[in-house]
Amino acid sequence: MVTGGNTNDCTRFTAVMEAIRVPRIGPGRPRVRPDHVLGDKGYSSKAIRAWLRRKGIAHTIPERADQARNRARRGSRGGRPPASDREVYKHRNVVER
């Protein structure tokens, strides 16, 4: 999916994810769901994380600084920070190159 340079990536996230079709080697339907999604801080939103959880897709997306501050400001009501594996995240740019 190609969009203009001024389009925010996170607004097209679900459309791109639903358009994924990875052909299998040999017979069978194409895969439509990845095992794991790696995203940068631009994809850090409650809506995207909830969508990935509903679909059962593991994800590594670091929390933006403003989200972390707001969560910390709320104290215990702010909830736990989202899990983010730094070692897995280091491999995110392999796809982008």
Report the pLDDT value the prediction gives residue 45, as an integer from 0 to 100. Answer: 85
pTM over 0.85, yes/no? no
> 97 falls in which pLDDT band (50, 70, 90)?
low
Is 8 part of any domain? Answer: no
Is 92 part of any domain? Answer: yes
For 56, the domain range is 34-96
Report the pLDDT value the prediction gives residue 57, as an integer from 0 to 100. Answer: 92
Report the pLDDT value the prediction gives residue 54, as an integer from 0 to 100. Answer: 94
Is 22 part of any domain? Answer: no
> 94 falls in which pLDDT band (50, 70, 90)?
low
Q: Which helix (DSSP H) or strand (DSSP E) does residue 38 occupy? A: strand 36-38
CA 63 to chain centre: 11
Is 46 part of any domain? Answer: yes
Model confidence over 6-19: pLDDT tens digits? Answer: 677 778 888 888 99
Is 11 part of any domain? Answer: no
Main-chain dihedrals φ then ψ at residue 17, nearest 5 degrees: -65, -35
Is 58 part of any domain? Answer: yes
Question: How many other CB atoms sit within 10 Å of the CB of residue 49?
Answer: 16
Q: How many domains does the chain have?
A: 1
Model confidence over 9-66: pLDDT tens digits? Answer: 778 888 888 998 989 998 999 988 888 888 888 888 889 989 999 999 988 888 888 7
